[in-house]
Structure 1
Amino acid sequence: MQTKKQLLSITTNTYYAEKFILSSLVRIRKVAEKIRHEFNIDVEIIVIDDGSKDQTVNILNSEFSKNQDFKLITLTRNFGAINSHRAGISACNGDAVVFLASDMQDPPEIIPTLVREWIDHGHKFIYCPRQTRNDPLISKIFAQAYYFIFRKISQIKDFPQNGFDICLMDRQVVDAFLACKEKNYTPQQLIWWLGFRSLGIPITREKRCEGKSGWTLQKKLTLAIDTIISMSHLPIRFISLFGIFVAFLSIGFGLYILYHALFGSVAVAGWASIMCIISFLLGVMMMMLGIIGEYLRRVLDEVRERPSYVVDNVRLPVETKFVGGIGGC
């Protein structure tokens, strides 16, 4: 009886990638061919466009018509890199899945090394922590601050200090990841939280050669807030502890005022100090309401049960089935 070949899925997402998507596909195809030859396994390539408004989709459709050697999934609008990654992973048929960004700052040439560790040593999760980053200075500063704070306050304090993007997941890891239905998260932290045996293979994050990153400051701040709230109890615990502290402080100050008001030994402080205290506490209360509001907004996202993404169109190679569905949780 002939044994069925193992299948590796390589998925990448695109957004305003008209300047480099063809060169990225060339690199991914070369890597896929090397893996087929070296390991005697099948490879499928999945490309997800996350609502690009430039010529990215037209270029991909034209390339698909010429070759038909990859799955092409287009989403109805921009749902964000995290959700487009999930769309790609959901559409994978592979026994293992690799996901990477189409800008190729994380070199796809590392993938055969990941596959070897998966096949030869049975690692279920192989990731590529960044040793160095060839990014602009402001991006480096933000990334270092983000990962430093995350490691200090999150539930997964052993997370790589410079983070990672490209990784290989065994099908068991993929199924566990897809079973997590939360809306506001980052894939890397969620995969790490699952706790599977892992192996790190360090890489250098390459300089972006073409195009402009879609990761604006607003998106980076949103990612940071989502990560902290989803992976740490510290914000809500801070509110509780600070509330207890202020309550005891208020009781002590109230007893002090009552004592001197009854016995008249010292004049009670005037309006200036009282207004300063009231203004300070009102500011703290508004900040706490904002933190609670962030949690409530995420609870609302969960209970509405809207899909994380909606598929507009799917183009498949011949005799290939689509398993992702038209929307995802």
Structure 2
Amino acid sequence: MKYKVFVSFIAYTHNGGSRVAGFLKSVDDYLSSTFECHEIIVVNDGSTDDTAREVEEASRGLNGNLILINLPWRHGLEPAMTAGLHKSVGDFVYEMDSIDTDCTEEFLRGMFEAAVTGYDIVAGVPEAAQSMTSRLFYKFINRVSYADLHMTSETVRLASRRAINAMLNLKEKFRYRKALYLLTGYPKKNLVYRSASRAGSGRSWYEDLDLALDVVIGYSNIGIKLIHFLSAALFLFSLAIGGWAIYGYFFENVVEGWTAIMVFLSCVFSGLFFILGVLGEYIMRILNEVKGRPYYTVSSVKVYSETANRAARLDYGGQGENARRAE
């Protein structure tokens, strides 16, 4: 028996041309056998290979609608998936962060069964061990965040329409969906699945570091707290050095030393530069808010419809093939 709901399935890919066809076929088979109506949305994040052509070729054998969103350059996972969410219309939406995610159809079905029991957000957490850096990052952000987030590695997510609308309506310029969904307050459940490989982001170490800094600055008050703490420490240190200098002037016969001066200046200026760096990060965020630039840029959207696919299979003089694609 099929569920009488409309489901969207969003998948992110960058240079996944050699794997996207098999992925689309397996996802379409699962959606067709489980739901009355569905759509698949592939976000092509500035791929330099033949991903767009492979998606178009694969669309001919699908039973549901397929939407291909092409971004002109690589935006990263969060902007790309946000573009897909804005195009989705399903009552429930799957979000898969990579076409290489190896969860099974049974697990995807279990996610939906959990969602209909009252959970607006169901996340798939791989059982494979996280890297040391990932464990340290999540432990740190969960501790310093101003909200009770309890984040962990997630590779696939199922969200209800009301949870998606609430998340998209949040006015955060830095869109980190994992945190934003939790900030909506809707009930969430994590399901663990057996993964054949260690959970990874597919990003370079520099991109991971940049994302980690954005998350820490955006979803915690640790930056401001560090500034307050360091400012107080430098103030007390300056008072101690001043008191020591006054004491030596009146009670000891000492010559001002180069070492003491250099230690003092080094500590003070290193603290000041750190404070300026953190303040610069916050000022940059204010500037981004004021400029109001779009979070993502779309070069083209192509829709491959189920009706056109059926017409193409009937081969009515080739007209179905010409009608099957819409810009």
- Residue 145 of structure 1 aligns with which residue? 136
Identity value in percent: 24
* Structure 2 CA distance for partners of 1:108 and 1:182, relative to 1, 3 Å: farther
- Pick aligned residue for 1:295 from 278, 282, 296: 282
Residue matched to 1:22: 21
The farther-off stretch of 220-229 and 106-115 is: 106-115
Residues 175-214 of structure 1: pairs in structure 2 closer than 5 A: 175-207=165-197, 214=202
- Aligned equivalent of 2:315: none
Deviation of the 1:130 alpha carbon = 3.0
Q: How does 1:78-97 map to 2 (within 5 A)?
A: 78-97=74-93
Pairwise CA distance, 1:122: 2.2
Change (3 A) 1:285 1:309: same
Aligned-partner Cα distance in 2 for 1:249–1:11: 54
Partners of 1:118 and 1:16 lie apart in 2 by: 32
TM-score using structure 1 length: 0.84
Say what the alpha-carbon RMSD is for the aligned residues: 2.5
- How far the C-alpha of 1:47 sits from its partner, in A, is 0.9
Alignment of 1:136-285 (within 5 A): 140-160=131-151, 162-207=152-197, 214-261=202-249, 263-267=250-254, 269-285=256-272
Specify which structure has the bigger relative contact order, considering alpha-carbon pairs within 8 angstroms and separated by 6 or more residues.
Answer: 1
Q: Deviations over 1:266-320 (max 9, x none)?
A: 5264121111221122122222222222222222222211111111111224499
Q: Which residue of 2 aligns with 1:35?
A: 34
Secondary structure at 1:294 match in 2: helix
Q: How far 1:66 sits from its partner (Å)?
A: 5.5
- Matched residue SS, 2:155: strand
* Residue 47 of structure 2 corresponds to residue 52 of structure 1: yes
Q: Alignment partner of 2:127: what SS? A: strand
Inter-partner Cα distance in structure 2 for 1:282 and 1:61: 58
2:297 aligned with 1:310: yes
TM-score for both structures, normalised by structure 2: 0.84
Shift of 1:182: 2.3
Q: Which string of whole-angstrom CA distances, capped at 9 and with x for unpartnered residues, describes residues 117-154 of structure 1?
A: 222x1221111233324xxxxx7122122212222212
CA 1:81–1:29 in structure 2 vs 1: closer, same or farther (change >3 Å)?
same
Unaligned runs of 5+ in 1: 134-138, 321-325
Q: Report the CA distance shift for 1:276/1:144 in structure 2 as closer, same or farther (over 3 A).
A: same
Q: 1:34 to 1:155 in 2, by over 3 A?
A: farther
Distance 1:310 1:51 in 2: 10
The verdict on how the C-alpha distance between 1:66 and 1:6 changes in structure 2, with shifts beyond 3 A counting, is closer
Residue 323 of structure 1 corresponds to none
**What aligned pairs does 1:89-128 form with structure 2 within 5 A after superposition?**
89-107=85-103, 109=105, 110-119=107-116, 121-128=117-124
Quote the offset at 1:34 in angstroms.
2.6
CA distance in 2 between counterparts of 1:106 and 1:318 reads: 27
Amino acid in structure 1 at the alignment position of 2:47: S
Looking at structure 2, the residues matched to 35 and 319 of structure 1 have their Cα atoms a distance apart, in angstroms, of 16
Amino acid corresponding to residue 190 of structure 1 in structure 2: L
Aligned residues of 1:15 and 1:214 also touching (Cα < 8 A): no
Q: Which amino acid aligns with 1:278?
A: L
The Cα shift of 1:80 comes to 1.0
Counterpart residue number, 1:136: none
Specify whether residues 185 and 93 from structure 1 end up closer, same or farther in structure 2 by C-alpha distance, changes over 3 A only: closer
Q: Secondary structure of the residue that 1:172 maps to in structure 2?
A: helix
CA distance in 2, matches of 1:60, 1:88: 15
User: Would the alpha carbon gap of residues 206 and 155 (structure 1) be closer, same or farther in structure 2, given more than 3 Å must change?
Assistant: farther
Q: Deviations 1:233-268 (Å, cap 9, x if unpaired)? A: 01221111210122123123313322442x344526
What is the CA–CA distance in structure 1 between the aligned matches of 2:60 and 2:71, rounded to whole Å? 19
Structure 2 unaligned regions, length at least 5: 308-326
Amino acid at match of 1:28: V
